[in-house]
Structure 1
Amino acid sequence: MNVLFLCTGNSCRSVLSEGVFNHLAPAGWRAISAGSQPVGALHPRAVALLARKGISTEGYHSKSWNDLPVTPDIVITVCGSAAGETCPAYLGQVLRAHWGVDDPSHVVGTEEEIEAAFEHAYRIIRARIEAFLALPQGLDKHQLKQELDRIGGLSVS
């Protein structure tokens, strides 16, 4: 199973998602991340947050969806609604879901407020990935799509 976490810049939310998924997923499941307009570098706060959680980002880099090493089975967009973000539309023959997360890299405020925004985005992503990985095996594509859409609505406090 190959899951693509997709956003525009591929520096923060999609990288958090890739890291958490790969850290928690069973053998044979793999996440990659990409962007429609990659910024070319991982956000240092996202990398530092994952490191604090014991999650490796070794080998990760900001990349275009045109440079994927595998064909994804599932594409999950993680763009948020803040600042009028538009999610890229992956056009391949894949199962698609949207798990919007507001971009913590756009938060302006104190150091504590910015760190809190990154932590909140991480908690949302982790809760959704844990819910995804807890789904029963053997769901058909329609059932899996329904579950992925439901999971995209999960929030944390």
Structure 2
Amino acid sequence: MQNILFLCTGNSARSILAEAILNRVGAGRFTAFSAGSQPKGEPNPWALGLLQSQQFDLSDFRSKSWDEFAAETAPQMHHIITVCDNAAGEACPIWPGKPATAHWGIPDPAAASGDDKDMKLAFLTAYAQMSDRIGRFVSLPIEQMSRQEIAASMADIGSFSGATGGPR
């Protein structure tokens, strides 16, 4: 079982979506977690509404600090993926075990403006982009790949589906 941590500044939308998607499509091979450098305190209601519409159990989702996952008692992460450009540029904690890292920046749906239709579209777009990347990731034969090969593949995946800027 491979542990993956998705990081975003607020841990309220993109990283929560990624955690949900990977835990569903990667069940049995991967366990996903999410966190933020400056957590908002609660998941974005639009993110939760979208996940609920996709039949996800919402009981485990919460906005949390990345400090939880840098603690000695935290599960060891095999992979760390930033999903927002701000988090990718921040000084991250030192992660035990030297996990493979990558940046998968996508536009922040929580920053969208407009009416309900516009907000729903922003979150559906983020969900689709993250689903595409996660689908590519779970198709990798990571059990037969070196850490360097995994990191290179993860970086390549980050360039797909509406990639935003940020460190790579």
Equivalent position amino acid for 2:152 in 1: Q
**126, 150, 153: which is aligned to 2:156?**
150
**Kept in 1: contact 2:7–2:87 (CA 8 A):** no
What CA deviation, in whole Å up to 9, does each residue of 1:17-49 have, x standing for no partner?
000000111314200000011111011110110
Equivalent position amino acid for 1:99 in 2: W
Q: Which runs of 5+ in 1 are unaligned?
A: none
Where do 1:83-98 residues align within 5 Å? 85-87=86-88, 88-90=90-92, 91-92=94-95, 93-98=98-103
**Kept in 2: contact 1:8–1:36 (CA 8 A):** yes
Equivalent position amino acid for 1:74 in 2: H
Partner SS, residue 34 of structure 2: strand
Where do 1:1-157 residues align within 5 Å? 1-68=2-69, 69-80=74-85, 85-87=86-88, 88-90=90-92, 91-92=94-95, 93-136=98-141, 137-155=143-161
2:75 and 2:45 mapped to 1: Cα distance? 26
**Kept in 1: contact 2:100–2:151 (CA 8 A):** yes
Equivalent position amino acid for 2:151 in 1: K
**Kept in 2: contact 1:19–1:57 (CA 8 A):** no
Deviation at residue 89 of structure 1 after TM alignment: 3.7
**Kept in 2: contact 1:7–1:77 (CA 8 A):** yes
What CA deviation, in whole Å up to 9, does each residue of 1:36-83 have, x standing for no partner?
111110111101101111222321211101113412111000004xxx
Q: Give the total of aligned pairs.
A: 152
What CA deviation, in whole Å up to 9, does each residue of 1:90-124 have, x standing for no partner?
33222110000111011111211111010000000
2:12 and 2:150 mapped to 1: Cα distance? 27
TM-score of the aligned structures, taking structure 1 as reference length: 0.91
TM-score of the aligned structures, taking structure 2 as reference length: 0.85
Equivalent position amino acid for 1:95 in 2: A
Equivalent position amino acid for 1:2 in 2: N
1:10 and 1:155 mapped to 2: Cα distance? 21
Identity percentage of aligned residues: 36
Q: Which runs of 5+ in 2 are unaligned?
A: 163-168
1:124 and 1:116 mapped to 2: Cα distance? 12
**Kept in 1: contact 2:100–2:148 (CA 8 A):** no
Equivalent position amino acid for 1:145 in 2: A
